[in-house]
A and B are shown apart, each in its own frame.
Chain A
Amino acid sequence: MVLSCHDVRKTFGANVVLDGLSLDVGEHEVVALIGASGSGKSTLLRCVNLLAEIDDGTISLDGEDITDPKINPDRVRQKIGLVFQSFNLFPHMTVLDNITLAPVRVHRRPAAEAKEQALEWLTRVGLADKAGSYPDRLSGGQQQRVAIVRALVNSPRLLLLDEVTSALDPELVGEVLTMIRDLKGDGMTMVLATHEMGFARQVADRVAFLDRGRVLEQGPPEQVLGAPTEARTRQFLARIIEAGRL
């Protein structure tokens, strides 16, 4: 298992967001987290990346307990990429500098080598001509693709994608989804929180439905999205269909 969450609990005051959640993700596997707003999808991703501290349970990466308080969180984060809903590119840096910051400053790679690798990635995603631009000159879809590249140049073991298309105009969603589909082809292990059920169906090996801080139901996309066994999953999907998103 690349990622193993066991009995994870996370509360904000009286609000229990994750309530004994367990989830395993294998090598090269793509798991889509679906569920209503507030079901704990984003919180789970933030906990896995140690941006939020869990209140009980364990999370392991490659068999190592990363929720052990003695562990160095910076070292763990170097192995986990996280892409945010709102891109969070650094506005004062060019696209190239955004991408090479961590390789140069964290992984101590030579600047020239980091730049070369960044340009290779940018060429691959069709943004080579934007290397010297500042993020505010890019469309949302372009910014999000840069943010994904920024996470990928650290060669993470696991890539977490937190509703990466939710802040995009509808016509820009496709370019980001295409990129994620390519990453799956490369064998990247990914956990993605998403509202795009169609995309979850296409790209995910497994869909996990989160409800009230737990994984209520999980399995192959055809089964969870096509023939859910739980009543609450059916209700959720019915609302999604009503909104025209499936």
Chain B
Amino acid sequence: MMRDVFVLAVLVLGSTGGEIAITHGMKATGEPATLRPMAVLQFLRRALGNGWFWAGVPLMAISFYSLLLLLSWEPISFVIPASALSYVVGTFGAKYILGEEISVARWAGVILVCAGVALVAAG
């Protein structure tokens, strides 16, 4: 039980931490001037030169391996609903780390999505 809680925490914090780092890196990269292939390639090159992007990748890898580990111990109908907590943790991260404004409508949407993903995955 303690083992599950610990690995679930690594899973949730790894995925949200990784995604927040990548978001920060992408905001620093700036959006591509157009969505034409050359502009997107230049954008990709700038993004791959950003340290925050590379800080995010290993965090997401850790989260992926915790998911595999958890799936080897518990049924998927427990693992995916439990990992839906990431939506709530990620929203807190967006507010307090990235400084995004979370309106009431956005909070309500996030909570509905979180509950919905839990129900869908539970079958």
- Say if A and B assemble together: no
Residues of A at the B interface (CB closer than 8 Å) are none
